[in-house]
Structure formats: structure tokens, C-alpha cells
Structure 1
Amino acid sequence: MPELPEVETVRRVFDRVLTGKTIIEAEVAPDEIVLQGAEPLALQSRLEGAPVAGTGRKGKYWWIDLGDRGVLFGHLGMAGWVREIGAPTIRIREHGNAPLEDKDGRPKFLKLRLRADDGREVVMTDGRRLSRLWTANSVESDERVRALGPDVWSEPPTAGQLQTILGKRKAPIKAILLDQTVFAGVGNWIADEVLYQAGIAPKRLGASLSREEIKMLLDKLYQIVDLAVAVGADKAQFPEDWLFHARWGGAKGEETFRGEPLVREPVGGRTTAWVPTKQK
């Protein structure tokens, strides 16, 4: 699933192509799941002719400010992606190596296409239909954004703040890391990476972490997210010693990482990869 670095990369694509421009053409796929029952032609009409005042992101949600026409929001789900037509793009793991266009040259699994007044185009695609698009009058009025906790990259909590939160939680730290009301933007791979680099076992109860461990967790969280954002979420540029490169594949995946046994098991309802000899 695209997490904060991937979503920030997507936001920057929208910003580069659309901010300060006018959307002169929009194509909205009639997908009742992605649109959650909204009428595609109504959304298309709202988008066409709209000036783009800017873009934003909090956690895993991105948005486009349409001036007096409100705000378009999106969530990438498990396999959604955004790219500029004709420009280089990275591939998230869910894309594999399959062509991004069909035999007629159209983007596969197209959900949204926006053309700016300078001719540049940006598209959102999703082969699994788990992404979402919706609108609101403002960012402040959107209930989904309002329900999020602090964004872990742009407004990270202090060690003291997190210690207070964790002191009230009797859940595994892995599950707490995935709670978007506490850590907006963290997903499964970031949570595993942070716990590995901080040396903390995923099953540890949040309340059991010491002040020093909490500070280490926050430091690693910011460093990991900041680096991933800096390289545009390009996994080929992630450091070789990151657990990220070995954590995938389930039962058929790597059995060791850097010479140590690699365990995969559910924690907090999510598949978790960790190294027991390094994480306590």
C-alpha cells in the first residue's frame, strides 16, 4: 500500500503539473467503488474549468484546492498511483513489470485524468479499485482529514507527547504505529522498518516502551520517512541495509536478513516482518 512517502510523491506530481493552472479537461471513470457512489459526470463538470490554487497532503490523503469549487481529495488504496503523461515515473511494488498503457496507448486502469491549460496531463490509475476520490467544500470541513492524528513527517509528535499516548495503550506497538489517529501516514512497511531500526519487537505493548526507546522510535521514524520522501519513494534508492528489501514475499520470501532469522507473522492483524535477534 502506498504510504506517506509515496503519497507525498503523488502530491508533488499534482503540484508540478496543475498548481497555478486551470483544468481544461477532465475524465472521470464511472467506478462506483472508487467514487463511492458519486456521479462521475458531476465530478467531471466540477473539475473542468477549475483553477488549481494548490495541493496538500496529510497522512495518506492528498488533495487539490479548486478555489471556489472546493477541494478534490484522494486516497491511493493498495495499488493506486498518479503520474504525469510523458514523464518518468517510479513503480510501486503492486505495479510489477507490466506495461502501464494498453495496446491503444491509454493508461491501464484509468480512474482520473486531468489536463491543464498548458497541455500537460496527469492521471490516477488503480488496478485493484481500492483507491477513493471525493470532494468537500474545504480541507477543514472534511471529516476524514479531521479524524487524522498528526502527520508524522510535517508535524511529528515529541517524545513527551508520545509517551503520554503510549502510557494509555495496551496494544502492541506495531498496531499503534498503524493507528492513523496517532501516526498519520505510517503503513505496514514503514512500521516494520522503524521497529527494526529502533530495535523494538513489534509485539511489545506500547506502554512498555521507555522514554529512551520512544525517542529512538521517533528519530528513526522521521529519518526513514524523510529519506524516502527525498528520493521520491523510489525503492531502488533505499539504503541496502533497510529491512524493506527483504520483508516481502510471505512464506516464499527471504528467510534471513543480514545473516539473522527473519520472522513473518501477524501482529495487530497485519503481516509483520521482524528480526528477533535484533528486536527486543
Structure 2
Amino acid sequence: MPELAEVARIVHFIRKYLVDKTLSKVQVQHDDIVYGKAGTSAAEFQKAMQGKKITGAGQQGKYFWITMSSPPHAVMHFGMAGWLKIKDADTYYYRTDKPEDKEWPPKYWKFLLETDEDPKMEAAFVDFRRLARIRLVDCPADDIRNYTPLKENGPDPIADKDIVTENWLKEKLKSKKVPVKALLLDQANISGIGNWMGDEILYHAKIHPEQYSNTLSDDQIKQLHESIHYVCSTSVELLGDSDQFPEHWLFKHRWSKGKKNQPSVLPNGEKIVFLTVGGRTSAVVPSVQKKTGPVAKEISDEDAGDDKKANGTPAGGKRKRTAAQKEESDSEAEEADTAAKKTASKKQSKKDVKTEDTEEDKKSAAPVGRRRSTRTRK
């Protein structure tokens, strides 16, 4: 899922190529999921954008927006695999040589924008998994962050540096009893930090992701605060281009998980292990990220009750999710569900093949001698 840095990249390109240009042509795909689940229709989006001038672009965490010459304005979220392509511009945050990434219009587009000024620009919002969300927000451009879905989310560590202070972070951590990684990933607490950024921040802070947030020392909180701003500011300045990330970053060495004969290690030989924290796979360097307090893989009912009491929710009850939180968590849940179904389907196919081969072997088994193997044939 594109995180704070990757979204900052696309906002940069919108400002560079589209701001101050008038949309002469807007085409849409009538997708009742990408638009519909955000309370907008493709037709409404097309009508709102057609013929208007793009006046600006902004970001709060994983959400970004395009402001128009008059309301409503487009507020978007990439989900797991969405992106905004601009013709003849290198908007991708990773290198790609796939032929389909060069064609225009691109596959799986949800809207196409075309400007009438010289030079004419073309842009396309794409998402083959349909977990992205496109909506209209009817308000003055300067007030977008005061409306759903942005108002329900926490401060952005780049846009809101004056809010994300060490004291603010300390109060947030001490008020909850959850694994610190889970707290960082919760967009209601702080906007934009996703899985890889959370791991990178905790690695630089030398904090174990499973440790309860309310057990961190003042020194650890100070280091965590510094690491949040270091990782976020550095990755945003580099426009999310991972090729330019510092070589000593965990990001550069974490992707060999699951690959045979490719152990996950840092250049100095320190081993990278993988844990599940808050339902997400976390890359951890045990020799650096020591456990200095109570940790938890999953929160017990008793702990959840303590946390809910501290936050004004009755123990044993469920914390009410905001529309913005639900939207993002639903995207992740849908992605996980899709992966689970694919895995189940593959297992069933293998089982069916084995059953068919077994029946065939039984029918053709020799009457005497060694019994034929019922293994699946290659």
C-alpha cells in the first residue's frame, strides 16, 4: 500500500504537471466500488471535474486531494495498489519495465483527465484491485481537512510537525496499552505511517514492535519521536524513490523474506526476522530492537479492556471505528481475503488433481506385484 512518502510523490507530480490547467476532457469508468463505497458515483465525479481548472493539490497521510476552481473537490486514497499515472512522466516510485506500464491509456483506469493548455497533459487514476477510493468533498478548498474522511484521521508528521511533538507523542503512547507498532499503524493516531515505514521507524528507534506503548521510557519516546521525523522527512524529500533511500535503512534489505537461499540480513550481518504484529508482518532486527518491557503478539481481552477504559470506551465493548479508519482497514481486509481465497483455490486444485490420479491408479493397478504409487504425477 502506498504510504506517506509514495503519496507525497504523486502530489509533487500533480503540482508540477496539472495545477493551473483546465480539464477539457474527463472520462470515467462506472465503478460502483471505487467510487460507490466512498459515497460518490463516476457520473458525479465527471460532472464535477469537467471544464474546471485545477488550482492545487494536498495530502494528509495516505489521503490526497485535487482542489478545483470551485467545489466539490476530489479526495482520493490509493488502497493497496492504486496509482495516478501522468503521460510521459515518471510518477512511479519504483522502476518498472513492464510493457503494460508504458501503454496509454493504461489498463484498469478509473478516470482519465486531459487538459487543453499547451503542452496538453493527460493523467489516469488506475487500480486493478479496486481497493482505491475516489470521492467528492463539497466545501471550500482550504477546509478540506475539516471534512470526512480527513477530519477523522490523526495529524500528518510532515504537514503537522507543530502537532506531532515529543510531548504529544508521549501522551498518545501513555494513554494506550497496545503494541507500539499497532499504535503507529492506526491512522486515527497519526496519518501516513504504514507497514514499511513503521518498521523503519522502530528499527532506527531501537524499539521492539511488540512492546506495549505505555511501557516505553522517556528516552525511548524521545528516540521514537526523532525517528518518526527522520524517516518521514527523508523518504518524502526523496519522493518515495526507494532507489535513493540510504543503504543502511532496513527497507533496503527486508525483501528476501520467503525466497530460498536468500537470508534476510543487514550488510553488517545482523539478522532480520519477521513477526506478526497487529495483523501485519513486521521486519525486526533482534540484536538492535531489544525488548525492554512487556510485549504482546495479540492483545488479551483484559488488556483491551484496560485500553478502552483509558479511552472512554466501556471495557469489553468495541471501539467505534470512524468511516476513514473503516475504509482503510476494509481495503486491507479485502486484500487479505482475496489472498486467502487464492491460496485455498490452489490447495483445492492440488487436492482435486491428487484425487483424480489416485482413482486412475486404482483402476489400472496391476493384479499382482507392488502396488502403484498414488502420488500426484508431474
TM-score by length of 2: 0.69
Residue number in structure 2 paired with 1:135: 136
Query: In the superposition, relative to structure 1, how do residues 97 and 266 fare at CA in structure 2: closer, same or farther (>3 Å)?
Result: farther
Residue number in structure 2 paired with 1:69: 71
SS in 2 for 1:41: helix
Runs of 4+ in 1 over 4 A off after TM superposition: none
Moved more, 9-18 or 248-257: 248-257
Residue number in structure 1 paired with 2:157: 152
Q: How many residues align?
A: 277
Residue number in structure 1 paired with 2:112: 113
SS in 2 for 1:241: coil
Give, in angstroms, the shift of residue 239 of structure 1: 0.8
Which one-letter code corresponds to 1:130 in the other structure?
L
Of 244, 265, 283, the residue aligned with 1:256 is: 265
- Per-residue CA deviation, residues 133-153 of structure 1 (Å, 9 max, x unaligned), is 000112145311000111011
Give, in angstroms, the shift of residue 98 of structure 1: 2.4
Give, in angstroms, the shift of residue 97 of structure 1: 4.4
Which one-letter code corresponds to 2:188 in the other structure?
T
Residue segments in structure 2 that go unaligned for 5+ positions in a row = 291-378
Asked if the contact 2:255/2:264 (under 8 Å) is kept, the reply is no
Pairing 1:36-55 to 2, within 5 Å after superposition: 36=36, 38-55=40-57
Asked if the contact 2:72/2:136 (under 8 Å) is kept, the reply is yes
Residue number in structure 2 paired with 1:24: 24
**How far apart in 1 are the matches of 2:232 and 2:182?**
18
Give, in angstroms, the shift of residue 64 of structure 1: 0.8
Residue number in structure 2 paired with 1:242: 249
SS in 1 for 2:76: strand
Larger proportion of helix: 2
SS in 2 for 1:251: coil
- Per-residue CA deviation, residues 94-125 of structure 1 (Å, 9 max, x unaligned), is xx6423447x6421221222112221112221
Residue number in structure 1 paired with 2:282: 272
Verify: 1:195 aligned to 2:202, yes or no.
Answer: yes
SS in 2 for 1:68: coil
- Per-residue CA deviation, residues 155-175 of structure 1 (Å, 9 max, x unaligned), is 131111111111111100000
- Per-residue CA deviation, residues 5-27 of structure 1 (Å, 9 max, x unaligned), is 11111112112222222111112
Larger proportion of strand: 1
Pick the structure with greater CA Rg. Answer: 2
Give the RMSD, CA atoms, in angstroms: 1.8
Report the identity percentage. Answer: 35
